[in-house]
Amino acid sequence: MHLNNIHTEQLSIKDWHIQPGQCWAVIGRNGSGKQLLANLIAGKTELQQGNLSHDFTNIEILSFEAQQSLYENELKLDDTDFMDCLDQGTSVHELLDLKAGIPENLAFLGLDRILERGYRLLSSGEGRKTLLAHAVLQQPDFLILDEPYDSLDLQSRDEMQAFFQHLSAENQTQLLFLLNNLDEISDWHTHVAIMEKGELISQGTREAVLADSAIHALLSFDPDCLPEWPEDLPRTPPDNPLIKLTEGKVQYGDTLIFDAIDLTVTRGAHTLLTGPNGSGKSTLLSLITGDHPQCYGNDLHILGFRRGTGESIWEVKKQIGIVTPDLHRNHRVTGAALHITLSGFFDTIGLYDNPDSTQLAHARQWLALVGLEQHSSTPYKQLSYGEQRLVLIARALVKQPALLILDEPTQGLDEVNRHRVMFFLEHLSSQHRTTIIMASHRLDERLPFFSQHLAL
């Protein structure tokens, strides 16, 4: 594959040649243009200037954008409102169009236990594995993997890396990795390219590029460069405990997600949830937020209210900030980044109220803190996946919630922004105004301020 003098409105590549047998990793920060590059190679974006030549006949892309597109299509087909039961939509079995079960080389994905489950009901990690299987089953000769390890537990990540290494060595499918972080580069990647603001600024062998100190400096986080932290908003602290779940249970038919879960979270008792994909972390958090229908069948108290006793959901949500993959999937609105951030004050998807001057000032401050001040007027849907996640983080924090619920909050973020978010959480924990409950797969996100750890 050869790209020469590529120039689009947001992409610039002078000369880049991918030889047969090479395995490239393209590293770039959120919004650097990696997704634009993938769409260009796959023929989904029109080439305005330059030359792109290759002999590949079947190019597949695995990305969060592909997951979002499939999810939105499934929502259009959802007939739950016309049925007396939940419409699960397209099952994993139907999506993969399996004729003879899961191929042996994909058995490590563990999809056999979820084959009859609807795609919309999968966890983020399960959905990721399903789309990987779908892409591989198409027998592509060129496979673009955009952040393939995000949202996966540690074992799944190791197994997937081994699978990709084997797939690359077979030389039947050429792989191109689009990654946010240098630590995701494997020793079997032969070459590395660096993208910054739509331009391919460095390329070469893995050893040569990783030896360049300027590249490491470009991808490092400096907290001293952050703008000023917003002033405290007036707020009456809620009564303790913030969360109390007794003998928590969620079950779909004969499938038990979890049982006999006891969880108490008091003010300042920051809590970390861990466990493999499909263990119930996201389900537990959706019980707490009230977004899971079985929350009313559990003995659950949240911010002084017992679920299912006529409590006002808005009274509860105004004290909660939420960042979850499900919230990200459901943000299919057309508003600008500033409007999405402001909607955090009103707990709506989209902005339908007029903010006051204080709310507007705080929203602008938070967009600056997440590094997106220049994108305040940019439509949310035009931002990259990682930039969208940063906007949702600003949306959750803008009202300085008493309870902050985070499900894999750094999913899709580059190394700089991941450290940025961890810095925010450390700062919040030191202010003693917000209590954090977070689910994460990453070992480096098990920060010291987490005083409770629940492993599912």
At 101 the pLDDT is: 80
The one-character DSSP state at 379 is B
At 99 the pLDDT is: 78
Burial class of residue 406 in the structure, from the number of CB atoms within 10 Å of its CB (0-12 exposed, 13-18 middle, 19+ buried): buried
Where in the chain are the domains?
2-221, 225-455
Q: Cβ contacts of residue 146 below 8 Å, gap of 6+?
A: 34, 35, 38, 61, 62, 63, 64, 65, 178
119/116 Cα distance (integer angstroms): 9
| Consecutive H or E run containing 15 | strand 12-17
Domains 2-221 and 225-455 share a fold: yes
Angle value at C-alpha 50, between 45 and 52, nearest 5 degrees: 65
Provide the whole-model pTM: 0.90
Burial class of residue 217 in the structure, from the number of CB atoms within 10 Å of its CB (0-12 exposed, 13-18 middle, 19+ buried): exposed
Class of domain 2-221: alpha beta
Let me know if domain 225-455 sits in CATH 3.60.150.10: no
What residue type is 343 in one-letter code?
S
193/206 Cα distance (integer angstroms): 9
270 φ/ψ sector (left φ>0, alpha ψ -120 to 50, else beta): beta
431/440 Cα distance (integer angstroms): 22
pLDDT in tens, 84-102: 666 678 899 999 988 778 8
320 φ/ψ sector (left φ>0, alpha ψ -120 to 50, else beta): beta
Label residues 330-353 b or e (16+ Cβ within 10 Å = b).
Answer: ebebebbbbbbbbbbbbbeeebee
347/395 Cα distance (integer angstroms): 9
Q: How many CB atoms lie within 10 A of CB 202?
A: 17
pLDDT in tens, 326-383: 899 889 888 999 999 999 999 999 999 999 999 999 999 999 999 999 999 999 999 9
90/94 Cα distance (integer angstroms): 6
> What are the structure tokens assigned to 218, written together?
């470009």
> What are the structure tokens assigned to 16, written together?
């880049």
Nearest Cα neighbor of 35 from 176, 185, 164 is 176
Q: Is the separation of the CB atoms in 25 and 179 below 8 Å? A: yes
Question: Percent of the chain scored above 90 by pLDDT?
Answer: 68
Enumerate the H helices of 147-203 as residue ranges: 154-170
Tokens 């990647």: give the residue.
189
Q: List per-residue pLDDT tens for the chain, 456 residues long.
A: 999 999 887 899 999 999 999 999 999 999 999 999 999 999 888 888 899 999 999 999 998 888 888 888 888 877 665 666 666 788 999 999 887 788 888 998 889 888 988 888 888 888 889 999 999 999 999 999 999 998 888 898 999 999 999 999 988 899 999 999 898 999 999 999 999 999 999 999 999 999 999 999 999 999 999 999 999 998 888 889 999 999 999 987 788 889 999 999 999 999 999 999 888 999 999 999 988 888 888 999 999 888 877 666 777 888 999 999 889 988 988 899 999 999 999 999 999 999 999 999 999 999 999 999 999 999 999 999 999 999 999 999 999 999 999 999 999 999 999 999 999 999 999 999 999 999 999 999 999 999 999 999
209/81 Cα distance (integer angstroms): 54
At 361 the pLDDT is: 96
Binning the chain into helix, strand and coil, the percentages to the nearest 5 are 40, 20, 40
Q: Is the separation of the CB atoms in 249 and 258 below 8 Å? A: yes
